[in-house]
Amino acid sequence: MGMGIMSLRILAAAAIAVAFLSGCQTTKPLTNDEIKTSLASGNGLLLLGYDMPQDQGRAFWGVDIRRIDRETGKPERPNNEPTASNAATLLDEPSGERGADRRFATYMLQAGEYAITSIGPRQPNGGPVYVPNFGGAGGGGATAGLIGLAVLAAVTAAAYAAQEAEDSRFGEPGRPPLMFLYENQLVDEAPRFEIRPGEAVYLGDILYGSKYYTIERTEKGTGPNAADAPTVTKQIAISPFVEYMVDKPAAKAKLAALGLSDTPMRTVTVDVLKDGPVYVSPRMTRERLEYRITDPIIDEQVYSARTVLPRPLPQTGS
């Protein structure tokens, strides 16, 4: 799923089962006894709620969480410990097994300070969806030849000039607001939390959604087809966003289902998401989109995971 313009066909991919994750790899779910043993060994449990609209279509989202190195202040490289890791990656797409419209990801993590490093759309393999500032570049590679490279350079220069003109009108958008590891540095706004031995931390629910702009494109015939009736097609420009809520009773019910009713749970709110929706791409506003295209936007739809969002709880508390 991209944040640019695409056809009405939306990315289809195989369902991913979310279980206990170790590092960036999905591992076999731990048994309740293994969870209790891991907690008793000095590790902690992370609970992260997540959801997306059932009518949005099938699209992948991801959340990356990494432990912070105390000496360098930078995210550590993920390890692959079998029962507790220093990183977690949630890769999710809609499935039919939604139960009561409530899902949780659960992770056994080593004690320490952690940060969310990114939230956003993903490819089916878990890689991020890159949003280029212009389309059509690349392709030829080393075989493009001098003429191809010259044309590419001209297209690139024109695209950057167009982007500069757009930013001059609307302002430079800066860092994508849900990218917290930027230019290999953890930004000050990165959501941070502590994993403590024998304790569960609930980060709230991350709710994925999208705004869909329908664009009506009209193409007139050229050459021998100049007299033909114009071809009208519809395309979709997608602007993904994240909303946030806290549902502490549901999180406690998840702990109970894991046989961990006696495990202390601490709720930490993700403050940068509380005043959402937070859009993934600052460049995908209607005003900027209308500035970039010549065809009209004929419809605008918002797909949210929740119609009513409870107020977030205070950061501290059991």
Looking at residue 229, its pLDDT comes to 79
Asked if residues 201 and 243 have their Cβ atoms less than 8 Å apart, the reply is no
Tokens of 91: 């890769």
Q: Where is pLDDT greater, at 86 or 194?
A: 194
- Secondary structure (3-state) at 284: coil
The Cα–Cα gap between 122 and 153 comes to 29
Q: What are the backbone angles phi and psi of residue 204, rounded to the nearest 5°? A: 90, -170
pLDDT at 29: 60
Residue 144 φ/ψ, nearest 5 degrees: -65, -30
Query: Number of helices (H) and strands (E), helices first, in the chain?
Result: 4, 16
Q: Express each pLDDT in 235-282 by its tens digit.
A: 888 888 999 999 999 999 989 988 899 999 999 999 999 888 999 888
Residue range 111-148, pLDDT digits in tens: 999 999 999 877 655 555 543 332 222 222 333 344 44
| CA distance linking residue 182 with residue 238, whole number of Å | 23
Contact 163, 52 (CB under 8 A): no
Q: How many residues would you count in the chain?
A: 318
pLDDT of residue 252: 94
| Domain spans in the chain, listed from the N-terminal domain onward | 5-303
Q: What pTM, to 2 d.p., does this model score?
A: 0.73
What is the predicted pLDDT for the residue at 314?
A: 40
251: DSSP letter:
H
Residues 6+ apart with CB under 8 A from 169: 291
**CA dist., res. 131 & res. 235, Å (int):** 17
Phi, psi of 56 (to 5 degrees): -85, -20
